[in-house]
Amino acid sequence: MTKSRKQKQKKQDFLRKKLKVGKPKEKARNATDTSFVSKTISIRNQHLDQNPHDLTKRLTLLKHHNINVRKETLTTFQKSIPSIIKSRLMTPLLTQSIPLICDESQQVRQGLIDLVDEIGSHDAEILKLHCNIFVLYINMAMTHIVTQIQADSTKFLSHLLKYCGDEVVRKSWVKLLNGVFGVLGWGQVGKNDSASIVQTKKRNAKYVTIHLNALYTLVEYGCQDERARSDGDTAETTEDSGTLRNPYLIPDYPQPFEHLKLFTRELKVQDATSSGVNATLLSLATQDIDTRKAVFIEQFLPIVRKKIEVIIKEGGECGKSANKFKTLLAKIFD
């Protein structure tokens, strides 16, 4: 009996049981029950930020593909300016932020304007150190294929002139005048009148007013000294020995001999003769007011006076801005 029982038990290991309809398959004897619930917290193996207020890691978000992320990042930096204005973070912040002048979103561009205002109100010297980059991207915006970016370019110019106007006009006087003329569609020497995107039969009065105000500020800083801007009536009559002493004192701005280009390398302009007068003007050093006034009188003043007379006849906000600009021109050049 014992032997036959053992044989039957061995055979059961090799027999396949028939499944009955409606009944689940029986679990194996060595099956593991996985229906238990874990009562422990699983923490991933990752780097924990020791300083949550470190803003250097947010710089890369200025290049994020999402518009809201770029806008919120600019807002975060704007609120943090009082605490970081004297830190090393300002240089990479401006280097990463200035290209947003040509950003496709109007909200991002407005956020950048607010950031520039915040920086300028605390320390305008920081903006002066980055004037070259500002002017580069403002000129790119003035010739941009997107109309809204081109239209907003003079907003950045106006805010930049507000904090470092003297620095801007010394370095990029002719270049910025050509850019503003192109945005207004006035057609400077060597340019085509129909080349500007903004120039249409039905010009937006709002943007024309902004462009005229920017041109007004540019001419005001470029063709007048600080005393003339503050008190135009007495500045021309009061003469002192300060004008003779200034060449022998410490200059008010850094790199006073930068226009000589002693230690800079520039790419040669191909076919410079084809550009005519414009190529000569772009290479001209405009460090002093007399040179800037001479260039403006020779190349820009006749066109400006002709165009603003037409705008004054149209009336409205554009007419008011043009009339104000006409008064400034009469004060400086007549």
> Using one digit for the tens of pLDDT, what is the confidence trace for 303-313?
999 999 989 98
**pLDDT the model gives residue 299:** 87
* Number of residues in the chain: 334
- Please state the rounded mean pLDDT for residues 282-300: 82
Q: What percent of the chain has pLDDT over 90?
A: 39
Output the pTM of the full model.
Answer: 0.72
**pLDDT the model gives residue 234:** 41
Least confident of 101-115, 200-214, 262-276: 262-276
Contacting residues for 308 by C-beta, under 8 A, at least 6 apart: 212, 322, 323, 325, 326
Residue 30 has pLDDT above 90, yes or no: no
Residue 10 has pLDDT above 70, yes or no: yes
pLDDT (tens digit per residue) in 204-242? 788 899 999 999 999 999 888 777 777 654 444 334 444
Least confident of 43-47, 141-145, 153-157: 43-47
- 10 Å CB burial of residue 47 (0-12, 13-18, 19+) is exposed
- d(Cα 280, Cα 20) in Å, to the nearest integer? 99
- Please state the rounded mean pLDDT for residues 4-13: 76
**pLDDT the model gives residue 139:** 94
Q: Does residue 84 contact residue 55 with C-beta atoms inside 8 Å? A: yes
- Please state the rounded mean pLDDT for residues 308-334: 88
> Which span out of 33-37, 54-58, 307-311 was modeled with the highest average pLDDT?
307-311
Q: Residue 75: pLDDT band by 50, 70, 90 thresholds?
A: very high
Identity of the residue numbered 33 = D
Residue 199 has pLDDT above 80, yes or no: no
- d(Cα 334, Cα 324) in Å, to the nearest integer? 15
The chain-wide mean pLDDT, for the chain, equals 79
- Which tokens belong to 96? 């990463």
> If we measure between CA atoms, which residue out of 256, 248, 92, 94 comes closest to residue 163?
94
